[in-house]
A and B are shown apart, each in its own frame.
Chain A
Amino acid sequence: MSAPAVEERFGRYGGRFVPETLISALDDLSAAWAAARSDTVFQDELSALLRDFVGRPTPLYPAERLSERIGRRVYLKREDLCHTGAHKINNAVGQTLLAKQMGKTRIIAETGAGQHGVATATACALMGLDCVVYMGSEDIRRQAPNVARMNLLGAKVEPVEAGARTLKEAVSAAIRDWVANVADSHYVIGSAVGPAPYPAMVRDLQRVIGDEARSQSLEAEGALPKRVIACVGGGSNSIGTFYAFLDDPVELVGVEAAGEGLESGRHGASLSAGSTGILHGALSSVLADDQGQILEAHSVSAGLDYPGVGPEHAHLRDTGRATYVSVTDTQALLAFREVARLEGIIPALESSHAIAWLLENAPESAGFDVLCLSGRGDKDLDEATAKLAELDG
């Protein structure tokens, strides 16, 4: 095969720490993606779907009132305007299309807040594939509207009762399903995590965010941004945004969830406060205790509530190419409300973390910033309204 192989490692990170049963499927997937990503027929089909079904390209929006508030120009990359309301659909459509081409008839996915589950259920409805979505029973309780959406779209939502009954356990349950049904099923992982080739493949499918933002920046300003900012949970919107700028003189800032504060131990900052370890098949930076037991993460935002992160981010951190910072639940909630009132945009609580950091870190210097608004906040209304009421006392 002439197509370049899909990366398995990013520096020391990445790899395939999975049961032997999955190795042949990962080999097949790797070969299929290496071929598909340089196959013009596949890429044309994917581009058409992204344009006509997802609604790409998404705007790069000059946020005037927000810029005025912070004292520097900022553009929002409007992934919240994608079909189903977040960047997750870019990856879901791409992987589902690939799975169909590979002859798979059944799709497995995991979901935390439900955005990736809804995106995958949507892609499966579009392409006529069976879909099962694993979701922690605690998340099912918290995200009832997304469960209803997935059911309406014809997906089967499987509750996961293990551990804290949230995203980490849902990923494990999805992997176990895949181990048992690897012949006819494809696992559409929702972030740039997991065993190779997933981190590279998900990045390839999300890089459209950064590719568009880069050319839109040049078009709008005749220049590249000074800083590119995105939130980091598993890290798919951020790696997708950063990737186009890796070779440019542009600062890359990833914003993690500090939850109740890094010192509280209740956070989701795997890069800022984690250690090198293995979770869900990849060596990366993880939250674990001194015995190597994986810890539960915490964030007000379900999409950042994950004790691991994509291996490419761990590498970008170590090389210093990207900087990783964190903001607390409270900062994110306040930013959520502030942007709603400044711009008439209700951002996802995940994206609100990136905005919260920007609000407090806007030096007076030349240039402009691009911030990935990874999703819309409708899903967060109940949670955020209640928490804001508590904050307001």
Chain B
Amino acid sequence: MAEAAPTTASSAPSPAAGADRIAAAFAAARHDGRAALMPYMMGAFPDAGSGRRIARVYSDAGADLVELGIPFSDPLADGPVIHAAATAALQAGATLESALEACREIASEIPVVAMCYSNMILSTGEDEFASRLAEAGAAGAIIPDLPLGEGAEIKEAMAVHGLAVVPLIAPTTSPERRREICAGAEGFVYLVSTTGVTGERAELPPELEDLAASAREESGVPVAVGFGISTPAQIASIAAIADGVIVGSRLVRAVQDAGDLESAAVAVSEFLAAAREALEGS
């Protein structure tokens, strides 16, 4: 596929569109001769307006897809930076709807995949939650506490609304289980780079290359690597072994550390420009 084939996703997309839009975004990056760049942001952090603005900067600065965190009180898979951002967003009154404003801002340009925890889905109602994601233009969902074998109803509801449920695999996942997860993957496979929660790491494990190669072989969809990736050098090395690179805590920290929204926008824009440069020719 030669281009990202954006759909008019700000209105409700047709069922099954999510996986196709994600596939198109990875294919477009590959057509450019590089891995896809997928920055993560926390929705409605520090407030809904900032969320929209950061999403806009991500799209303008060359993100191929965006992973959008939905603030949750007890994010078990997340490290201190993202946990603190979720807590701050909730203290400022964040809701699913206000977090999804970032999605609405850019969903017609690039695919947005929501990272959300099971309890919010269950509490809202599986179908209601999925319909709200779809209505905001999301292409899929990453549910880090819904491993293979759990939450059939959640997965069904997402499918009904045309959302890809992106599965995660970890370095500790057994080869047999990994094959099963990869075979059933929708959108892309999220390969967790290290044994741990989200957060910046100085070094990535040496066995990652073999793991990524196996996952790419076993899966019919692209493989993106996330957790711990925080420097252009790491981005370049991941890009050489995977179809996509996810950067999270590093960018959330940039927003956190900036004194105001303008400096935050400049900081994330500069980081994404450096990230795109690191990806060229991958």
Task: Please report A residues at the B interface, Cβ cutoff 8 Å.
Answer: 15-25, 27, 162-163, 168, 172, 175-176, 179-183, 275-281, 283, 286, 288, 290-294
Contacts and interface: CB of A to CB of B under 8 A. Distances in A.
Contacts of B168: 19-20
B90 to A, nearest CB: 6
Contacts of B122: 276-278, 283, 292
A162 B79 CA distance: 11
What is the interface of chain B mostly: helix, strand, loop, or mixed?
loop
Contacts of A172: 74, 76
B146 interface: yes
* A-B pairs, 6 with minimum CB distance: A292-B123, A292-B120, A180-B196, A21-B170, A293-B73, A19-B77
Contacts of A19: 76-77, 144-145, 147, 168, 170, 192, 197
A21 B172 contact: yes
A7 to B, nearest CB: 15
Contacts, number: 119
B181 to A, nearest CB: 8
A291 B197 contact: no
What is the interface of chain A mostly: helix, strand, loop, or mixed?
mixed
A278 B150 CA distance: 12
B214 interface: no
Contact of A18 (B72, B123, B145, B195): B145
Contacts of A15: 150
A168 B120 contact: no
24 contacts: A17-B145, A18-B145, A19-B76, A19-B192, A20-B172, A21-B172, A21-B173, A23-B173, A24-B173, A27-B174, A172-B74, A176-B197, A179-B77, A277-B123, A278-B117, A279-B74, A283-B122, A286-B119, A288-B123, A291-B120, A291-B124, A292-B120, A292-B122, A293-B72
A227 to B, nearest CB: 34
A182 B147 contact: no
Interface string B152-175: 000000000000000111111110
Nearest to B77: A19
B123 A16 contact: no
Nearest to A21: B170
A21 B76 contact: no
B121 interface: yes
Contacts of B146: 17
Given A16-B149, A276-B122, A294 B173 contact: no
Contacts of A182: 172, 195
B96 interface: yes
Name the residue among B119, B168, B174, B195 with the largest chain A CB count within 10 angstroms. Answer: B119
B73 A180 contact: no
Contacts of B192: 19-21
A293 B70 CA distance: 11
Nearest to B95: A291
A392 to B, nearest CB: 37
A32 to B, nearest CB: 16
Contacts of A22: 172
A20 B120 CA distance: 19
Given A16-B150, A19-B145, A278 B118 contact: yes
A293 B90 contact: yes
Contacts of B10: none
Contacts of B231: none
Contacts of A276: 122
A275 B125 CA distance: 13
B7 interface: no
Contacts of B31: none
Contacts of B167: 20
A241 to B, nearest CB: 29
A181 to B, nearest CB: 8
Name the residue among B80, B167, B168, B197 with the largest chain A CB count within 10 angstroms. Answer: B197
B147 A20 contact: yes
Contact of A176 (B79, B119, B171): B79
B115 to A, nearest CB: 12
B169 A290 contact: no
B141 to A, nearest CB: 14
Given A276-B122, A292-B123, A23 B147 contact: yes
Contact of B74 (A16, A168, A183): A168
Contacts of B172: 20-25, 182
Nearest to A25: B172
Contacts of A292: 72, 117, 119-124
Given A279-B119, A292-B119, A179 B197 contact: yes
Interface in B81-106: 83-84, 87, 90, 95-96
